[in-house]
Amino acid sequence: MPTITVNVDDDLKERMEEHPEINWSEVTRQAIQEKIDALEVMDELTSESELTESDVQEIADKINEEGRKRVDEEST
């Protein structure tokens, strides 16, 4: 399995270390998987759409925000 590196700031790292019971690699993997799944659905929905790139980016930003909220909720 390939490995990726994710950079976080010192404050976030300290906060993560307060929860050693959490598998942060798995949290990250799940967040990436959810994002990819959402992008694939969006690609399928917009393949014949007349949405502009700006419209698609706005939708993607909303998905990202909701994904971040979900990860935050699941990790607390």
In whole angstroms, give the CA distance from residue 60 to residue 57: 5
Q: What is the pLDDT of residue 76?
A: 73
How do residues 27-74 score in pLDDT, each as one tens digit?
A: 999 999 999 999 999 888 878 878 788 988 999 999 999 999 988 888
pTM of the model: 0.59
In whole angstroms, give the CA distance from residue 30 to residue 36: 10
Q: What is the pLDDT of residue 26?
A: 96
Largest CA distance in the chain: 47
Q: What is the pLDDT of residue 21?
A: 98
For residue 27, count CB atoms less than 10 angstroms from its CB and return exposed for 0-12, middle for 13-18, buried for 19 or more: middle
